[in-house]
Each structure stands twice: as structure tokens, then as C-alpha cells.
Amino acid sequence: MRERKGIILAGGSGSRLFPITKGISKQLLPVFDKPMIYYPLTTLMEAGIRDVVVISNIDFLPLFENLLGDGSHFGININYLVQENPDGIAQAFLLAEKFIDGFPSALILGDNLFYGDKLHSQLLKSNSNSERSTIYTYRVKNPERYGVINFDSNFNIDNIEEKPQKPRSSYAITGLYFYDSKVVEKAKTLSPSSRGELEITDLNNLYIKDGLLDIENIGSGSAWFDTGTFESLHEASSYIRTMQNRQSLMIGCPEQVAWNNKWISDEDLYRLALPLTKSGYGNFLIELLN
């Protein structure tokens, strides 16, 4: 199996979070005790993906590079690409064509946070299935705000409808997508929508038409946050704080995932932890070794 490439799309102006994003990328804002981008990066690492590209605008890319470096301290490889104009989620595959290089890939939105007991096994399953593509769904109360998956009478995937006025289901499409090696080829056939963007919904519907799209539902007991509004950003931070304090765990911690995956050694983890002890983050990492 050819190892899957990972893409974190961290572009956009973050206008729904103005004025706090007027001087910084949304994906660098804190979600409780970590930069927002740590969470999607950790999700890709949980899936076993070690070759990642971060896509953002030219002003913010140096900030991401300063935070994440080349990824070697996490036992992974991180590249960076400029997105001059945010012309739709599916544009990421055109920008990352050389990086993808004919490999299967996974795309995660930089403002999406996932957590759950079963999520790790779901991610590994999606990553191992390189011949098909997988999107992640989550049951919501207000599906009209999202891309919604529609099912036929046999509960097979029928199509995906973007922000329907009368949703046929309550299963929203999240910002996590695993694709086969043909994704760039398919993305090149897309035409801009009425809002001038290459829509990820159109790309997914192409895969549905070809019978190559599976879904993984993030079920009860798990969580998905799109942290693009003040309310959802606060909600996500409160959730992370509550879960970590109650269960003495760390969510969205790339150092821990790298160590669990044996991508870094005990000595590497200890070295990473030492400069972080004053905040308590480093103490957690040291406790892992004990």
C-alpha cells in the first residue's frame, strides 16, 4: 500500500471571528491549552499519516512554520504551500498536486476538532483502505447549516446536498476526507460553483456516482467541533478543558501520538517536555514516561 499523504487546509480570512483574527490565522488561536492546528494535525497522525502539508496564505505560513517546523521532532515530515485565494476546499488538491504525487491522500480542515474512543480505529481503517474513499459524518440538530448526506430506501448513499432548506437526513459532512489516488484527477474536472468556489460536495458526489465513497459516522460519545465561530470556539475549549481535567488525559497532543506510534523515543519525548513544564503541558508528557 502506498502511504497516504495528509493535507491540513488552514486558509481563509477567519472573518466569522473578527476582530480576533484580524492579525492572526484562525488556526493559530488557542483551543483551551493548545494552538487550534494541533488538533487536526494530531488526527492525521492518529491515522498513521507521517507526510503532511499545511496550506495557508502567504502572511500566516511563516507563523505555522515557526510553530511546527519541519515536523521531525514529531517523527513526521511537514511541508508548506501558499493559497493565494481561498477558492474552495477542493482547490487544496490542485495546490497540493506535486505533494500528493499520485498517492492516496487525506484532507482535514484546520478548524475541525475530533475526539472519541472509537475514532482511532476508524481513522486506521480509513487510512488502510487506499482503493476507496471515506468521508466522516456527524448527526446534528441543524443539518440545514451543513452539507448533508442523503440515503436511498436501502440506506445506501444517494448524494450529498449542500445546506438544504429541507434536509432529508440529519447526518452532516465533517471536515475530514480520505481519498484514493485519483482525487487530483477528479478535482481537475470540477467547475466553480455559483459562489466561485471548487466545492468539496461536488467532488464527493463524483465519488458517489462512481460507487467509490464510504462513510464513517462519528457516533454518540464522540465529539466534532467546527471552531469557526465564537460560540463553537468557546464550546470546544470548554469541552477540552472538562475532558482533560476529569480524565487526566491530553487531547490533540502530537508529542503523545508520536510517542505512542513509536515515531519518537522516550529520550525524544523527555527533551520535548522539558521546555514546557511551566505550563503543565510538559509535566503531562513526563508523566507518560513514568
Residue 47's pLDDT is what? 96
Domains of the chain and CATH, by start? 5-246 (3.90.550.10), 253-289 (no CATH)
Residue 29's pLDDT is what? 92
Residue 174's pLDDT is what? 95
Q: Are 255 and 267 in contact (CB under 8 A)?
A: no
Residue 85's pLDDT is what? 86
Q: Are 178 and 184 in contact (CB under 8 A)?
A: no
Residue 136's pLDDT is what? 95
Three-state SS string over 42-75 comes to HHHHHCCCCEEEEEECCCCHHHHHHHHCCCHHHC
- Own/partner contacts of 284-287, CB < 8 Å, gap of 24 or more, are 284/250, 284/253, 284/256, 285/253, 285/255, 285/256, 285/259
Residue 223's pLDDT is what? 92
Measured distance CA(36)–CA(13) in Å, rounded: 15
Residue 2's pLDDT is what? 63
Q: Are 106 and 177 in contact (CB under 8 A)?
A: yes
Residue 14's pLDDT is what? 67
Low-confidence ranges of the chain (pLDDT < 50): 1
Residue 190's pLDDT is what? 93
